[in-house]
């Protein structure tokens, strides 16, 4: 299958890698040359790591299935996956452009925005769905497959089959609500964790999350890991829509340029 991934950030590059590992031909697109360079380096690092673990046989061959491109020519792709910044306007512009160029299925990797809302930007909403991967896409097994009001049966079933073909577990989401299933749960947990930051250190809160709640990574560390800017944007959108995801210390850090793991500092020091 020919897969075109729009956006070579952490999610886009991870998604591209997952599809290449399953034998697909992938084009990873970004306008920023440095993003493409970082994506190639990150994927090469990850494939080598996975070879050490016996998950990938030939990292070079797998990397060879990915082309890195700054041209949005996605016509001829069987599937286009949009993985740009989590913002309705930004995603809308990209989806409109992509939809004018391809007749293939378009999936969005939005982590919270309803598919029905995003579908207003595409020409063929029946061939549009949500495919929500988790960070890091290469290691996380679950993928939410979300059906918008206009997504056809055929497209939804195609999405479920594609995710299974990657060796992942597709979670069918038929109620197209803000945050879907996973993030609706996470919003509550983040809100609880953040409210304790005035009283406890991130390490103490995360110790409880990991050792009492059994999470693989603490709540505050997870905010850093997935990006404070990403979470800040989601929190703003959530409260605009009347959902509970409050974390006042996020704003303060984002304004100081502390974006978590990717910038070297967030609630933790990552450098």
Q: Would you call 77 a catalytic residue per the annotation?
A: no
Interface with ligand CAA: number of residues (CB under 6 A): 16
**DSSP-derived secondary structure letter, 260:** B
Among 31, 100, 185, 217, binds ligand CAA (CB under 6 A): 217
Distance of CA 58 to the CA centre of its chain: 26
Q: Is 11 annotated as a binding residue?
A: yes
Q: Where are the beta strands (DSSP E) in 90-239?
A: 105-108, 128-133, 142-146, 169-173
Candidates 24, 46, 77, 111; catalytic one: 111
What the block records as the tokens of 267 is 């609630």
What the block records as the tokens of 152 is 């056809």
Burial 85-106 (b: 16+ CB within 10 A, else e): ebbeeebbebbeebbeebebbb
The yes or no reply on residue 54 touching ligand CAA (CB under 6 A) is: no
Q: Would you call 132 a catalytic residue per the annotation?
A: yes
Q: What is the CA radius of gyration of the chain?
A: 18
Q: Is 269 annotated as a binding residue?
A: no
Q: How far is the CB of 43 from ligand CAA (least distance, A)?
A: 9
Closer residue to ligand CAA in complex, CB, 58/73: 58
Residue in this structure with the two tokens 């990938």, named with its chain if needed: 56
Q: Would you call 265 a catalytic residue per the annotation?
A: no
The yes or no reply on residue 111 touching ligand CAA (CB under 6 A) is: yes
- What does the binding site for ligand CAA look like in residue numbers (CB under 6 A)? 46, 49-50, 111, 134-136, 138-140, 183, 216-217, 222, 226, 230
- Indicate which residues carry an active-site annotation: 111, 132, 144, 183
């Amino acid at each position: 299958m020919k897969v075109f991934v729009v956006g070579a950030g952490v999610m886009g590059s991870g998604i591209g890698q997952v599809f290449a590992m399953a034998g697909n031909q992938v084009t990873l697109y970004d306008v920023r040359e440095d993003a493409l360079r970082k994506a190639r380096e990150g994927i090469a690092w990850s494939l080598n790591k996975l070879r050490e673990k016996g998950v990938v046989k030939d990292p070079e061959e797998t990397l060879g299935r990915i082309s890195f491109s700054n041209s949005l020519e996605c016509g001829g792709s069987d599937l286009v996956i949009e993985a740009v910044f989590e913002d309705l306007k930004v995603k809308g512009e990209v989806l409109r452009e992509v939809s004018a160029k391809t007749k293939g299925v378009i999936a969005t990797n939005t982590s919270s925005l309803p598919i029905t809302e995003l579908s207003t930007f595409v020409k063929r909403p029946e061939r549009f769905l949500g495919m929500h991967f988790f960070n890091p896409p290469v290691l996380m097994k679950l993928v939410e497959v979300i059906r918008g009001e206009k997504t056809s049966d055929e497209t939804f079933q195609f999405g479920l089959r594609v995710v299974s073909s990657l060796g992942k577990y597709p979670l069918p989401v038929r109620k197209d609500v803000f945050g879907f299933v996973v993030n609706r749960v996470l919003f509550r947990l983040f809100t609880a964790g953040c409210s304790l930051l005035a009283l406890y250190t991130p390490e103490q809160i995360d110790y409880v999350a990991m050792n009492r709640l059994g999470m693989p990574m603490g709540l505050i560390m997870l905010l850093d890991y997935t990006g404070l800017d990403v979470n800040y944007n989601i929190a703003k959108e959530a409260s605009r829509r009347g959902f509970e995801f409050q974390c006042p210390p996020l704003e303060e850090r984002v304004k100081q340029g502390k974006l978590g793991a990717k910038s070297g500092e967030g609630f933790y020091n990552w450098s």
